[in-house]
Chain A
Amino acid sequence: MPPGKEKRDMEILKLEHLAWDLPDGAGIIKDIDLSLESGKLIVVTGPNGGGKTTLAKLIAGIETPSSGRLFFEGEEITGLDVSERAKRGIAYAFQQPVRFKGLTVRDLLELASGRALDDAHLCDLLGKVGLCANEYVDRELNASLSGGESKRIEIASVLARRAKLSIFDEPEAGIDLWSFARLVETFQEVRRQKAGTLLIISHQERILSIADEIVVIADGVVRSAGPREELLPTLLADEKSPRCPLGKESARI
């Protein structure tokens, strides 16, 4: 921790007893306590159906918690909707990119950045996800784009926001190996430049291996959380069934 900094100043996000239930009462997120430190690259991993995407949506304001509270930079945001959270600095990249008829790549990136972008900026943004701006800026975000292209543009739209907290839900899905390698570099660059906190949901070892911290979520609870050096060897030791500490714990990372 930098000298003179209180621990709470470093905390960008705090979840207190967060829970989310299906209408039939089944718990998807169960009483999660979690604290994320600013400027870190945090990877959330765990088995399919464990609640990772739901947790990300609760943070972004896309879903409303059944109970519990969220704090962003010390301010409670539980009652804020998705637009208000976005304005405060939370960005979210969808796992399945949204298609629009009539909206171009340029339109989306300009909406995301909140200003008109010149060709150099567009080129820089799309280059971060392995796309050439000349070929894409004027294309519509419709079905003419492949799944991988749409996904990379979705990620670029979040990078364009330069948000305090950027959430990426399985950014590797549908992306070719070369673009994925470029994306990993981009995540590392964001961290190096201290350009925001990254919360990445991923199963990819390549992503896990660049994490500062890892959070393992299964059955709606935090199974384990801590520095990559501590958790990754354990996770890799049993790829088929990640060996996680049993029971819920409150995690500060």
Chain B
Amino acid sequence: MNIDYSKEDIIVSGRLSIAQIEDLIAKPLETKVDKKFLIALSVSVTALMIGAISLGFSLLYGTGLWGNNQPVGWAFPIVNFVFWVGIGHAGTLISAILYLLRQKWRNGIARFAEAMTIFAVMTAGIFPIIHTGRPWLAGYLFPYPNQHSLWVNFTSPLIWDVFAVSTYFTVSFVFWYVGLIPDFATMRDRTKEGIRKTIYKVFSLGWRHSHRNWQHYEKAYMLLAGFATPLVLSVHTIVSFDFAVSIMPGWHTTIFPPYFVAGAIFSGFAMVVTVLIFVRKIFDLEHLITIDHLEKMNKIILATGMMVGYAYAMEFFIAWYSGNQTESFVFVNRAFGPYAWAYWIMVSCNVIFPQFFWIRKLRRSIPVMFIIVIFVNVGMWFERFVITITSLHRDFLPSSWGYYRPTLYDFGILLGSFGLFFTLVILFTKALPVVSIAEIKAVADDAQPSHHGDH
């Protein structure tokens, strides 16, 4: 409990040497798959197949198989889209914002979180496209010159989404790949001749660890981080605009952009912690992804959870303060209407449960944090559910009020999205170094020249 604040934080515990660190990270790539891996993969592939079958039927027979109907037209597909895009925010936050803030502890988890970002955005991208019911026409989402003079509507928030999500995916991917180049080179140099070496060679592009390259590389990394930071804010901001530019009570409120961003970081961190708890155990990375790192992430979860709570409270207060009757009605309806169960799941999971993280012991206990982050994942999914469904199911015209019930196909596709995400994550752990080798080496003990004396 007694921390010596004058000491530098230890990032890599266990006093591992640089070569040991490298061996540890390269191990999963150099060993054959084991039973545990195959079991995990088969579970997630099963989920993926269930999703694929549900989606296949939906495309064959049409989206009438889903629960979407008047008045709730934006149902599961949009809820899932916003949920997965939100999950995707932690990676770039860790790799970009914490990089700019010089939080060295990010180095151990950045690669993994970035990979999760990419997979989550891929998963998210499916939903708006299938929600249209005509996924084969998705090409029209991009402004390409065509004989109909048919352009996208640049004033529509949905087209902002297309630009935001595709830019976000591209930039995250590039960012991730740039981070991987030195690691491919390291893997290339530890691998004997063969197909694997050729693959590493191709992807490492001939990286030589030359400082003349490192200099530009670090600059580029800084610039990418500088761009990724506003980008990550913009993506969920634009997702929030999908709702907030409308005049729907419960959607049209100015706090939505920062509130969605905070929520996205909140849910993304929860997902990253959920997965890291397993990864560090299975791949023996406890020295690189230490309990201190998890504790720091839990603190961020606590902070962003309270930001989300602040937004709930502020929305409620202004709904009353505005004197707007429909606005007050929607909020009372959220808390005490037919979807009150969803609302209270959301509030308890997002605001109340994370409060346990105030206590240091609970913050550092793996089982406790696992339970809480699962609650947060559930809560954040329900947040999107509450926002989407409760505003729509009772809008301005009481004659067209209704109650939305998802069908089995909806749940099948939701399950499939988890299947896709985890399949990609599991394959990633075997295909690429899950911790950035170059970055974690740079923060190991005595990895940097001592400062005393210079300056």
Chains A and B bind each other: no
Taking Cβ atoms with an 8 Å cutoff, the residues of A that contact B are none
